[in-house]
């Protein structure tokens, strides 16, 4: 896989049982790139390591006054320099390719998992952790994958050079062959402590990232209540904790780096001292001593890759563990479906939830009243075919949604939750979504009562005469909560799915606008199945069918006016009646309820 071929057609199924298994899975899936990087690495390192032998031959040729051997040494030096240059160039190219392609594979896997789980992802994993995994952690995982082939090439080079020195000059070669493995493994006792400090730093950094994300997301509210400085102080403290943890981690890694400088120096001193002693006795020639000395000097370069791979693994292992934890999450229902129904097309018919007994007849507007907002959100997810908990599948036209591929289920049933997200860009881009084509953008915007929103967008966008070219800021933060709700509703109406599920679509809208939205949705969705979770009398009065869900089961079914008169639990939710008021006043008089409804409608 080359960079220009990204993204992957299929990133594969990761082994997410642990961070180490996930790293090994990444390595196996990039075996071709790893072998290519290893080959270029061997050419580079072996060419560099051969330079001291060429220098030794040249020095000895000068001592022996041999022009032929001096010319041979010069030719070998040229070949080694060319090999080193070519190897270094293509090693860097292949290693960076491994890094980027590994990071891209992980990012694709995370994106697919987020699309698969939907809103259930942030219920099971903190949003800050998801951000940390998909940004900084991905980079560290790619670093380890990239560093592994260079480390392998360096290790093979050290073994080859040690064997060559034993053959070339046994007396000095044995000393080097014994000393180099000690140097390579000297940092191992320090790694556990360095790893723990790196893990602690990552934990603190993840907490700071999560806190920053929450602060930025709620900055508008924090300013309104005067809590901006309070949360900024919390982030400053978290940032300082990250700094202190990073300093402690850096101290340990600096100690490891110091050992990689000190110990090769001690080995070099030992080689020189012993070599001079052998040279005085005539047991070692000057060229051989120069070659062995230069080799020890040169080998400090591949030895540094032992430190790098230790650091890469220490930083990438916790990152891989966090990524594996996210990737191991599964939907309550299979994303592939339990049976192949790809040839059946989109199912149509009544929407039925066996767990609660909720029935939404085909082509009708059904309103659902649920006293618990969290329970309403979970039920809305169930109706969309992607619940956060296992249970009996929702049926659409008698077909279980978990028997459909995830994309088909979401095409058939669209769920708009109570906090919809508006991505930055133009309004035209916001409405550039898969749609049936039966509903135009103007119709959807009109039904959602977005006229004032369009005017505000045009006024806030320089040079935008067409409202469709007006820009929306990140998450629509320049708009009010009601304006964001209406734009999100217009997007859902424009999509025109077979079944549309709306969770509190007008909770931030004034009553006058809410009444017009209720009529607009009813008219535009005529003949389509629509389910609205709401407790607003204005929306409930426009519904063909109203269902009260109490304690996870359907408790009453009817129309709004009848349920207000006959069902106390329904009335308590819709009119916000408290238990004390019910006990004091008893059952409300039917005439008073009707009068109250008429007053609300007149006000609207």
The string of pLDDT tens digits covering residues 440-482 is: 999 999 999 998 888 888 887 766 678 888 888 766 677 888 8
CA–CA dist 401, 406 (Å, integer): 9
Q: How far apart are CA 577 and CA 430, in angstroms?
A: 40
**Taking the CB of residue 405, how many other CB atoms lie within 10 A of it?**
15
Predicted local confidence at residue 334, as pLDDT: 45
What are 249-276's pLDDT values in tens digits? Answer: 888 888 888 887 788 888 888 888 888 8
3 state SS for 120-163:
HHHHHCCHHHHHHHHHHHHHHHHHHHHHHHHHHHHHHHHHHHHH
Q: How many CB atoms lie within 10 A of CB 202?
A: 24
pTM summary value: 0.68
Q: How far apart are CA 386 and CA 333, in angstroms?
A: 7
Burial readout 25-53 (b: 16 or more C-beta within 10 A, e: otherwise): bbbebbeebbebbbbbbbbbbbbbbbbbb
> Mean pLDDT, 10 residues at a time, over the chain (604 residues)?
80 89 90 91 90 82 84 90 93 91 90 79 72 81 89 89 83 82 78 80 76 64 62 82 89 84 83 83 79 79 82 84 87 51 68 92 94 85 75 85 80 85 83 87 92 84 76 75 89 92 90 92 93 92 93 91 90 74 50 54 55
**Contact indicator for 564, 574 with CB cutoff of 8 Å:** yes
Q: Are strands 351-353 and 395-396 parallel, antiparallel or unpaired?
A: antiparallel
Q: In Å, what is the CA distance from 459 to each residue of 227, 375, 463, 474?
A: 30, 39, 9, 17
First to last CA, the chain: 61
Q: Which helix (H) or strand (E) holds 416?
A: strand 413-416
Q: Which of 298, 283, 411 is nearest to 345 (CA)?
A: 411
The reported pLDDT for the residue numbered 214 is 65
Per DSSP, 235 falls in state H
Residues contacting residue 60 through CB under 8 Å, at least 6 positions apart: 69, 285, 286, 287, 288
Confidence at residue 544, expressed as pLDDT on a 0 to 100 scale: 93
DSSP code, position 549: E
């Amino acid at each position: 896989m080359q960079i220009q071929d990204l993204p992957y057609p299929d990133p594969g199924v990761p082994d997410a049982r642990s961070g180490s298994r996930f790293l090994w899975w990444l390595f196996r899936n990039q075996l071709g790139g790893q072998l290519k990087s290893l080959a270029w690495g061997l050419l580079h390192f072996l060419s560099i390591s051969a330079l001291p032998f060429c220098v030794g031959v040249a020095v000895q040729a000068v001592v022996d006054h041999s022009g032929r051997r001096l010319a041979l040494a010069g030719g070998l030096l040229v070949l080694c320099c060319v090999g080193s240059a070519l190897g270094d160039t293509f090693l860097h190219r292949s290693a960076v390719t491994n890094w980027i392609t590994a990071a891209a594979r992980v990012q694709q896997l995370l994106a697919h998992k987020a699309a698969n789980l939907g809103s259930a992802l942030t219920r099971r994993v903190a949003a800050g952790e998801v951000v940390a995994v998909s940004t900084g952690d991905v980079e560290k995982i790619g670093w380890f994958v990239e560093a592994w082939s260079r480390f392998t090439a360096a290790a093979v080079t050290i073994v080859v050079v040690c064997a060559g020195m034993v053959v070339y000059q046994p007396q000095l070669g044995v000393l080097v062959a014994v000393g180099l493995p000690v140097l390579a493994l000297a940092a191992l006792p320090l790694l556990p402590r360095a790893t723990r400090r790196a893990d602690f730093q990552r934990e603190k950094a993840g907490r700071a990232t999560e806190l920053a994300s929450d602060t930025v997301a709620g900055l508008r509210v924090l300013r309104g209540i005067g809590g901006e400085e309070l949360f900024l102080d919390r982030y400053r403290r978290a940032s300082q904790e990250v700094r202190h943890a990073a300093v402690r981690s850096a101290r340990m890694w600096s100690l490891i780096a110091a050992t990689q400088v000190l110990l090769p120096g001690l080995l070099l001193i030992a080689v020189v001292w012993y070599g001079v002693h052998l040279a005085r006795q005539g047991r070692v020639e000057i060229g051989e001593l120069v070659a062995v000395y230069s080799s020890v000097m040169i080998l400090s370069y591949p030895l540094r890759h032992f430190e790098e791979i230790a650091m890469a693994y220490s930083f990438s292992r916790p990152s891989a563990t966090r990524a594996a934890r996210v990737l191991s999450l599964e939907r309550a229902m299979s994303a592939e479906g339990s049976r192949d129904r790809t040839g059946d097309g989109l199912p149509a018919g009544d929407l039925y939830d066996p767990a609660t007994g909720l029935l939404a007849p085909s082509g009708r507007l059904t309103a659902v009243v649920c006293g618990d907002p969290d329970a309403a959100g979970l039920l809305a997810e169930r109706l969309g075919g992607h619940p956060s908990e296992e249970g009996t599948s929702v049926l659409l036209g008698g077909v279980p949604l978990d028997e459909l591929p995830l994309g088909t289920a979401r095409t058939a049933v669209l769920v708009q939750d109570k906090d919809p997200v508006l991505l930055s860009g133009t309004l035209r881009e916001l409405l550039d979504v898969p749609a049936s084509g039966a509903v135009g953008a103007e119709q959807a915007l009109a039904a959602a009562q977005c006229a004032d929103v369009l005017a505000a967008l045009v006024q806030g966008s320089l040079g935008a005469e067409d409202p469709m070219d007006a820009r929306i800021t990140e998450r629509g933060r320049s708009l009010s909560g009601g304006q964001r709700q209406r734009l999100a509703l217009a997007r859902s109406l424009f999509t025109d799915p077979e079944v549309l599920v709306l969770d509190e679509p007008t909770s931030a809208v004034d009553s006058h606008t809410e009444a017009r939205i209720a009529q607009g949705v009813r008219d535009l969705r005529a003949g389509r199945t629509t389910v609205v979770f709401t407790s607003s009398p204005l929306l409930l009065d426009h519904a063909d069918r109203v269902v009260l869900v109490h304690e996870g089961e359907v408790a009453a079914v009817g129309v709004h006016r009848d349920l207000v008169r006959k069902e106390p639990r329904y009335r308590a939710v819709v009119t916000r009646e408290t238990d004390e008021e019910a006990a004091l006043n008893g059952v409300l008089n039917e005439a008073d309820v009707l009068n109250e409804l008429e007053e609300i409608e007149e006000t609207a």
